[in-house]
């Protein structure tokens, strides 16, 4: 007996999760790298802070890829990667926004 669920819908969900893993994971890793390097620069030299934040961002990227396929729905995969990326990106841009406001 054939499945009643169309195969194209399943493939579309897999493509959506794959894009969430690649694009959303990249955005999340970039946000973590930017925000963490700004936080670490207070405790170590600038070059070391950026390198440490970038290496830790690779771990975040791997977790985000896993999350994209672990999430219950494709919307959850997108939300779980892009919403934290937007928050971290805004946090990383905050010093520039504060400088421009004053």
Q: What is the pLDDT of residue 71?
A: 92
Q: What is the pLDDT of residue 29?
A: 96
**Whose structure tokens read 């892009």?**
82
Q: What is the pLDDT of residue 100?
A: 85
Mean pLDDT, each 10-residue run in order, the chain (102 residues): 74 93 95 94 95 96 95 93 93 87 78
Q: What is the pLDDT of residue 3?
A: 61
**Whose structure tokens read 């926004």?**
97
**Whose structure tokens read 């961002």?**
57
Report the C-alpha dihedral over residues 81, 87, 90, 91, rounded to 10 degrees: -120
Q: What is the pLDDT of residue 82?
A: 93
Q: What is the pLDDT of residue 2?
A: 62
* CB-based burial label for 31 (10 Å; 0-12, 13-18, 19+): buried
């Amino acid at each position: 007996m054939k499945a009643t669920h169309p195969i194209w819908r399943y493939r579309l969900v897999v493509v959506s999760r794959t894009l969430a893993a690649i694009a959303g994971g990249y955005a999340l890793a970039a946000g973590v790298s930017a925000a963490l390097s700004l936080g670490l620069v207070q405790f170590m030299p600038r070059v070391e802070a950026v390198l440490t934040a970038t290496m830790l961002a690779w771990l975040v990227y791997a977790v985000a890829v896993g999350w994209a396929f672990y999430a219950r729905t494709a919307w959850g995969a997108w939300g779980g990667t892009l919403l934290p990326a937007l928050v971290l990106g805004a946090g990383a841009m905050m010093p520039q926004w504060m400088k421009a406001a004053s």
